[in-house]
Amino acid sequence: MERVGFVGLGTMGAAMAGHLGRAGYPLTVWNRTPGRAKDLAAIGAREAATPAELGAASDVVFICVSDTPDVEAVLFGPAGVGEGLGRGGLVVDCSSISPSATRAFAARLAQAGIGYVDAPVSGGSEGAQKATLTIFAGGDDASLERARPLLEKLGSRITHFGPAGSGQAVKAVNQVMIAGVYLAVAEGLVLALKAGLDPEQVVTALGGGVAGSWILANRSGRMLANDYPLGFKTRLHLKDLGIALDLARELGVVLPQAGLAAQLENGLVARGYGDEDMSNLARPIRELSGLA
């Protein structure tokens, strides 16, 4: 059975590592901030002192950290995974990071005989806890097939989109689309409120037609109440949207709506709303329209 290492024990990572440990994989964990490994120790996980030590004790290393520089530091920094994981190892990165950096990381590890799968996820903390994540995977076929039984412990819908970086590109597409739909729903609802309509009647009437969306069905209530419990944090979506806009610049793609959403989210994060659910994109539309 593969020996698994797991780097990054935040809300997502801790839940995902737990599923792998409980499935019987020998598990070593590491987190930048100490004190996150206690629950996992209770199911038999060993805590490594450094990513390098974790790498040396593992066949497959999962990473679930915040952003591109964090993945780079974990892999290639001092005492990084790359100093410990040997030829024949596999890295599975579940973080949401830059597709082009992902290609570079995969190429660099390939020179050391280490495989790479990018496997960013969708479904939030609830999906991580229930192991119902949607997983967007990139990498060569052999690496993907090796990772698949482990990924199946984390989510039910795993799609392989192509070479390394493909999974991250799909995640970027997802974040671009949801930004626009959140904004579309927010604008429509604020217009409905100011027009004196019963907004819940509007949501019901429009939800079954061309305007129907998951976000209209599931997030309009928060926008109407102007109250945004989690969910998915605005500051994390803004980070992901930054990755998507960087990708768009690299590829020469023009995304006016995603750019607009990023600007509005800049304002939300700066004003201290970054830890709210991202349905708070309705906040600036409400405020600019004179709704408290």
Q: Which residues are catalytic?
A: 171
Q: Which is nearer to its own copies, 26 or 162 (CB)?
A: 162
Q: Which is nearer to its own copies, 23 or 191 (CB)?
A: 191
116: its two tokens: 């790479």
- Minimum CB–partner distance for residue 108 and its own copies (Å): 21
- Minimum CB–partner distance for residue 87 and its own copies (Å): 29
Parallel, antiparallel or unpaired: strands 155-162 and 133-138: parallel
Residues ≥6 apart with Cβ < 8 Å to 137: 117, 118, 119, 144, 147, 151, 158, 159, 160, 161, 166, 167
Span interacting with its own copies, options 35-43, 50-58, 109-117, 244-252, rule CB under 8 A: 244-252
Could you say whether residue 252 binds its own copies (CB under 8 A)? yes
Burial 30-39 (b: 16+ CB within 10 A, else e): bbeeeebbee
Could you say whether residue 38 binds its own copies (CB under 8 A)? no
CB-CB contact of 149 with 24 (8 Å): no
- Minimum CB–partner distance for residue 172 and its own copies (Å): 7
Q: Residues 121-160: x/- map of binding to its own copies (CB under 8 A)?
A: -xx----------x-x--------------------x-x-
Ramachandran region, residue 157 (left: φ > 0; alpha: ψ -120 to 50; beta: rest): beta
Q: Residues 208-227: x/- map of binding to its own copies (CB under 8 A)?
A: xxxxxxxxx-----------
Parallel, antiparallel or unpaired: strands 121-122 and 133-138: antiparallel
Q: Residues 164-203: x/- map of binding to its own copies (CB under 8 A)?
A: --x--xx-xxx-xxxxxx-xxx-xxxxxx-xxxxx--xx-
Q: Residues 63-102: x/- map of binding to its own copies (CB under 8 A)?
A: ------------------------------------x---
Span interacting with its own copies, options 57-65, 102-110, 144-152, 248-256, rule CB under 8 A: 248-256
- Minimum CB–partner distance for residue 169 and its own copies (Å): 4
How many angstroms separate the Cα of 199 from the Cα of each of 31, 149, 204, 212, 227? 45, 45, 9, 14, 15
d(CA 61, CA 90): 6
Name the residue with tokens 């930004």: 179
Q: Count CB atoms within 10 A of the CB of residue 153.
A: 17
Among 54, 241, 258, 268, binds its own copies (CB under 8 A): 258
Could you say whether residue 229 binds its own copies (CB under 8 A)? no
Among 44, 104, 145, 289, binds its own copies (CB under 8 A): 289
- Minimum CB–partner distance for residue 65 and its own copies (Å): 22
Q: Tell me the residue type at 31.
A: N
d(CA 168, CA 171): 5
d(CA 57, CA 242): 35
Q: Residue numbers of the site for its own copies (CB under 8 A)?
A: 99, 122-123, 134, 136, 157, 159, 161-162, 166, 169-170, 172-174, 176-181, 183-185, 187-192, 194-198, 201-202, 204-206, 208-216, 232, 244, 247-248, 251-258, 260, 285, 288-290
